Structure 1
C-alpha cells in the first residue's frame, strides 16, 4: 500500500514537472484539468515541489536581450578536488552555469558578459583560481538555441518597466502579479499586461529548472562538433535532433557545441549516431553532465533604453 502510494506520488510529481517545464506559470486549475486529478491534490504536490522539491521556476531571457553579448564555454582541468574548484568558479558573478562532467575535462563553465573585455577578464579570474590547471575556451559566434528557447529581443522593444519585471521573473518565475507590481513600481493590472506580452512574444520563457545538486529526472549530455564547410549549413540540421535544448556556433576546438536532454542514455547513442552521419560532420566528442553545481541566469546588467517608459 505504502509503495503504491509512493509510486503514485512520484508519477504525479513527474507529470507536474513536465508541465512546469513547458509553462512555469501554469495555473492550478489548468494543471489539475490537464493531469486529470483534483485541484487540492495538485495544489498540495505543487507546493511541495516549489518549496522543498528538486526544481525552481524561473524566467529565462535571451542573453542579448539583457545586454550580454560576449559568451563562452570553458572546459577546465584541475589539480585539486574538482568539487572544491567548482565551488570557487561558481562564486564568480558572470558565470551562470557550472557542471561536473565526464571526459577529458572534469569541469565545464559558461561565461556571459556584456563585451569582449569583460569576457577576457572573467577568463583571467577563472585561470587565477586555486586548483585550476588549464582552460580551453569556445567563444560563441552565434547562440542558436538557449536553455528555455527564449526569443532574442532588441532593446527598442522593451523599456525600463519591462526590465524590472524581467529581473523579478528571473528570480521567481511564478511571482504573483501583486509581487511583480510592487517590485517594479506599477499596478498589478499593468504588471499582468506587460508580463503576458513578454511571455506571448517569447521574450521570457517561464520554465522549471532542476536545482543544482539535486538528482535530475533526465540526463544531460554535451557534445562538440567539427565540420567541413560552413557551420551555418549544419546548425539547422543539428537543431532538429531530438532532445536538443542548447546549441551554439563556436570559435575554438569545435565549430558547434550543444546539449541533449533525455530520460534514457540509449537515446543519446542514437542521437549521436544521427549527428555523426550528417555529411559535413568530421568529428563528434561528447561528455555527460554528472552534477550541476550552478545554474542561474538572473544577472541582468543595466541597459540603455531607447523609448519612453509607459505604464
Structure 2
C-alpha cells in the first residue's frame, strides 16, 4: 500500500511540472511562494526532477524561425517488437519526436528538416530501418500550435548572438545568465536583455518536457480531422480548445492533425466532442500516446545553417 507521503511528493512534483510548463525559468523563491511550500522543499524536489532526467527544461522555437520548413508526421506499422524499432528511428537526427501509440499504427514519428529533398531522404531512412513494415505520411502545410506555442518569425530577425543564445537554451532552458554569457561570448547583462526580448517577442518559449521513457500524469491523445471549408477558420477555433498542445494543417489522409492533453480522460473526451461538434468537421480519428520514446527539439543543425548564412 502506498503511503500518504508518497502521494504528497507525487502531487508536489506534478504541481512543479505544471509551473515549469508555463515558465521554465521561474525562480525557486517564486515557485515556492506559488505552491505555498518552503524553498528548501521546492529546491529538493526540483533538483531531483532535473538531475534524474525525468523532466527537462528547454527553449522551444518555431521550426520555421530556424530554417526547418519541411515537417512530416509518420505513422508506422512494424513487424518486429515496437520498442526496438522505435529506438532505431529515435537515433535519426531529423526526428525530434517518437511515440508508442494505440490503434492501427503502433508507432508515430515526426520529422523536422530543411527542404522537401531532405524530408524525402529522412522518410527513405525510416522506411529502410529493419522492422518497419509500412509508413503513412502526412506533410505539414502549416504548423499552427507547436509545443510551448512559440511564434513564427522570420529568421532575418535573429542576429548572431540571438542564434547562439537559442542554441544553448534549446539544450538547457534554465542555464544561468553567467553560463549563457560564457557560452556566447557576451556579458551576463546583455544575455539577460536578449533572452528577455526573445521571450517577450514570442520567438522563444521556455518550458518543461517530460523526459523520454517517463510517464506524464494524465493522458495525451492524438487526433486527425477531415473537414470541409477553410482550414484557417477551423484551425483557429480548435487551437483555443482547452488541452490542445499541438495542431497542424496537413496534406494527406487528414486535413488537420493535433494532440490534446488533460489530467483526466473525461476532459480529453470532452475536448474531442467539442471538435466533432464543429460544423465543418466531417470525421475525427484518434489514438492514445502510450509512451514517449524521444522528444527533443534542440535543432542544432538548423541553427548552424543560419549562422553560416548570416556570416
TM-score by length of 2: 0.95
Residue 271 of structure 1 corresponds to which residue in structure 2?
271
Deviations 1:38-71 (A, max 9, x none): 2122112211111125211111110011110000
Distance 1:95 1:308, change over 3 A: closer
Residue 117 of structure 1 corresponds to which residue in structure 2?
117
Deviation at residue 304 of structure 1 after TM alignment: 4.2
2:96 is the counterpart of 1:77? no
Runs of at least 5 residues in structure 1 that lack an aligned partner in the other structure: none
Deviations 1:184-204 (A, max 9, x none): 111111111111111111111
What are the equivalent positions in structure 2 for 1:4-23 lying under 5 Å apart?
4-23=4-23
Equivalent residues, number: 308
What are the equivalent positions in structure 2 for 1:244-283 lying under 5 Å apart?
244-283=244-283
Deviations 1:156-213 (A, max 9, x none): 2111111111011000000111111111111111111111111111111110100111
Task: Point out the more displaced range, 291-300 or 5-14.
Answer: 5-14
Given that 1:68 and 1:112 are in contact with CA atoms closer than 8 Å, whether structure 2 keeps it comes out as: yes
Given that 2:160 and 2:307 are in contact with CA atoms closer than 8 Å, whether structure 1 keeps it comes out as: yes
CA distance in 1 between partners of 2:118 and 2:210 (Å): 28
2:61 is the counterpart of 1:61? yes
Residue 174 of structure 2 corresponds to which residue in structure 1?
174
Distance 1:185 1:231, change over 3 A: same
Distance 1:308 1:107, change over 3 A: closer
CA distance in 2 between partners of 1:291 and 1:304 (Å): 33
Distance 1:306 1:293, change over 3 A: closer
Given that 1:155 and 1:306 are in contact with CA atoms closer than 8 Å, whether structure 2 keeps it comes out as: no
Deviation at residue 308 of structure 1 after TM alignment: 8.3
Residue 44 of structure 1 corresponds to which residue in structure 2?
44
Q: Which runs of 4+ in 1 moved over 3 A?
A: 303-309
Per the alignment, in what secondary structure is the counterpart of residue 68 of structure 1?
A: coil
CA distance in 2 between partners of 1:256 and 1:307 (Å): 33
Residue 28 of structure 1 corresponds to which residue in structure 2?
28
Per the alignment, in what secondary structure is the counterpart of residue 143 of structure 2?
A: strand
TM-score by length of 1: 0.95
Distance 1:94 1:270, change over 3 A: same
CA distance in 2 between partners of 1:304 and 1:296 (Å): 19
CA distance in 2 between partners of 1:246 and 1:28 (Å): 29
Deviation at residue 307 of structure 1 after TM alignment: 11
CA distance in 2 between partners of 1:15 and 1:305 (Å): 38
CA distance in 2 between partners of 1:220 and 1:274 (Å): 16
CA distance in 1 between partners of 2:7 and 2:102 (Å): 31
Given that 2:218 and 2:265 are in contact with CA atoms closer than 8 Å, whether structure 1 keeps it comes out as: no
Distance 1:98 1:160, change over 3 A: same
Deviations 1:257-294 (A, max 9, x none): 00001111111222111111111111100000001100
What are the equivalent positions in structure 2 for 1:180-195 lying under 5 Å apart?
180-195=180-195
2:133 is the counterpart of 1:133? yes
Deviation at residue 7 of structure 1 after TM alignment: 2.4
Task: Point out the more displaced range, 6-15 or 265-274.
Answer: 6-15
Given that 1:96 and 1:295 are in contact with CA atoms closer than 8 Å, whether structure 2 keeps it comes out as: yes
Runs of at least 5 residues in structure 2 that lack an aligned partner in the other structure: none
CA distance in 2 between partners of 1:296 and 1:281 (Å): 32
